[in-house]
Structure 1
Amino acid sequence: LSAVKDLPAISADVRALICPHAGYVYSGQTAAYAYKLVQGRPYETVIIIGTSHQYALDGASIYLKGGYETPLGVVAVDEELAARVSRASGFSYVAEAHAKEHSVEVQVPFIQRALPGAKIVPIVMGYPTRRNVYSLASGIAEATGDKKVLIVASTDLSHYLSKVDANSLDAKTISLVRNINADTLITKCLNGENIMCGGGGVAAALIALKKAGQPRVEVLRYSDSSEASGDEGHVVGYLAAAVTVGQPAAEFSLSAEEKKELLRLARQAVQTYVAEKKVIDYKTEDPNLLAERGAFVTLKKKGELRGCIGFIEPVASLYETVIQTAIYAATEDNRFIPVRPEELGDLEVEVSVLTPLKKIDNP
């Protein structure tokens, strides 16, 4: 903690940290950047979300009673809050999930030093299915209420790639985190992509905080294991980040230019794929096009339907969804034969973007 330099000035309440959990010689200095930022702040409890490395767990396990002992002493579990999270999420205690799990344990000494008065709620996350992640996120949001709670999502990034490949992949993962693309993180982790071992916990933290307002992620430090080992052939990536929450996001809307860009993108995607069998490469910094949204692309020819495919729920960023659904509308709508190159000039393209789903009280 004493070696941390040049932290950004963050005046807003930090509601969550993302911290690595490798051996201290490898990732300890990076984790220290996160804990230094919150050192001495008046948190009552720290919810630690680790990931199950040793035990096949479907769901999550919540440590309900007792405490965690380290060479610095015993940290008590906030038994009342742990019970509330358990009831609200539907997850209970599975002893085997905690028995040999380091991803929770490695955070505890940092909490003892940085937040010596805080209690803890240790949670081990199992398979990061959408149901599991959203259940845990909803349970945490419901149980914490106005209590002064800090969430720590414990995760490393990519594992055992070369330094060059790891740094490149980790930059993309960090971009997903900064843009609060929780559903994309879940999908990639479920698909076994080598992006982060604790992606379910990170996604759960982001989703839980979305219920309080608009999360904002501040990257504090990125490093990899070559800093300690000197081995650049096989590295593990480490991220320290802080999450604050602002006012609830404004109602989603697209500008006229953004609408034109999505129509252009859909048309280009169809033309390129039908004519060349290639998926277009597209980059953008527009936050609305990077946001996760459901969308449909409809193709018409001389006023008649020629194809329509879409996703009601978000599966990727808006621009990626439009590219994908445009290609599917042209080639995968089983009501029609695939669009032929000679038809491209006659196609009309429509893009329908769905606003986020909202829970209603009385269906």
Structure 2
Amino acid sequence: DTAVILGPNHTGYGSALALMNEGVWRTPLGDVEVDGATADQIVQETRLVDVDDVAHRFEHSIEVQLPFLQYLYGSEFKFVPVCFQMQDLSSAVEVGKALVEVLANKNAVVIASSDMTHYEPQGNAAAKDLAALKAVEAMDEKRFYSIIETQNVTACGYGPIAAVIAAAKGLGAKEAKLLCYKSSGDVTGDYSSVVGYAAVCFKK
């Protein structure tokens, strides 16, 4: 019924942690309505998150997920966009725990939108990314942050990823599985400077 989509703030506009609680987003596949009731519950659960449209105005990280959901579910869902400019570990975990409280009795999915390492040779990028993804598979957000910092993994949405790990654990996930890892080089054929991408799912 509801998708909560967490993404990084690339523009610096708006609040440090910002969601929208009303409106409709339009993609080539049609319109998707914001779930205002769930959004308001998230704001009530954690004071870190503000209602702020400005953060979303020129941000792409959340909207790119909507066509995939529309392909799967048509118009049978609403969503809550949460934009992360503040991505420290404690804030990410607090948002994740707030989602546990809000979504515990809802039919919902939580999605982190992020790419992985940027503009490094394929071998370097894959080594860094797969190390970070092992921490995600272990559902260990602290280890994930340690790898991000010590290995300089330039994933833009590390805060959303950590928040989803915390939410998944709180909602009863027992395992995480890496479904696929690819880079831009797999599409362009240029492996000298790539961006990494991964899909991970959490299962009860």
Normalised by the length of structure 1, the TM-score is 0.53
2:203 to 244, 255, 278: 244
Contiguous gaps of at least 5 residues in structure 2: none
Contiguous gaps of at least 5 residues in structure 1: 1-43, 246-363
8 Å Cα contact 1:167-1:237 kept in structure 2: yes
8 Å Cα contact 2:8-2:61 kept in structure 1: yes
Which deviates further from its counterpart, 145-154 or 58-67? Answer: 58-67
CA RMSD of aligned residues (A): 1.8
Q: Distance in 2 between matches of 1:97 and 1:53?
A: 9
- Compute the displacement of 1:205 (Å): 0.8
- Structure 2 matches for 1:48-197, cutoff 5 A? 48-55=5-12, 59-90=16-47, 91-116=49-74, 117-189=76-148, 193-197=152-156
Q: Distance in 2 between matches of 1:94 and 1:188?
A: 31
Percent sequence identity over aligned pairs: 27
- Compute the displacement of 1:192 (Å): 8.9
- Tell me: CA distance 1:238–1:96, structure 2 relative to 1, closer, same or farther (3 Å): same
Q: Distance in 2 between matches of 1:104 and 1:170?
A: 21
Q: Distance in 2 between matches of 1:179 and 1:196?
A: 18
- Tell me: CA distance 1:109–1:133, structure 2 relative to 1, closer, same or farther (3 Å): same
Q: Which secondary structure does the structure 2 equivalent of 1:53 belong to?
A: coil
Q: Distance in 2 between matches of 1:164 and 1:62?
A: 37
- Structure 2 matches for 1:249-264, cutoff 5 A? none
Q: Distance in 2 between matches of 1:213 and 1:192?
A: 30
8 Å Cα contact 1:45-1:118 kept in structure 2: yes
Q: Which secondary structure does the structure 2 equivalent of 1:173 belong to?
A: helix
Q: Distance in 2 between matches of 1:201 and 1:128?
A: 8
Q: Distance in 2 between matches of 1:161 and 1:221?
A: 19
Partner letter of residue 7 of structure 2?
A: G
Larger Rg: 1
Normalised by the length of structure 2, the TM-score is 0.92
Q: Distance in 1 between matches of 2:113 and 2:95?
A: 15
8 Å Cα contact 2:129-2:153 kept in structure 1: no
8 Å Cα contact 2:24-2:34 kept in structure 1: yes
Instruction: Show CA shifts across 1:74-115 (max 9, x none).
Output: 101111111101111221122331111111010111111112
Aligned to 2:183: 224
Q: Which secondary structure does the structure 1 equivalent of 2:191 belong to?
A: coil
Aligned to 1:212: 171
Higher relative contact order (CA 8 A, sep 6+): 2
Instruction: Show CA shifts across 1:95-145 (max 9, x none).
Output: 331111111010111111112211111111122113311221121111112
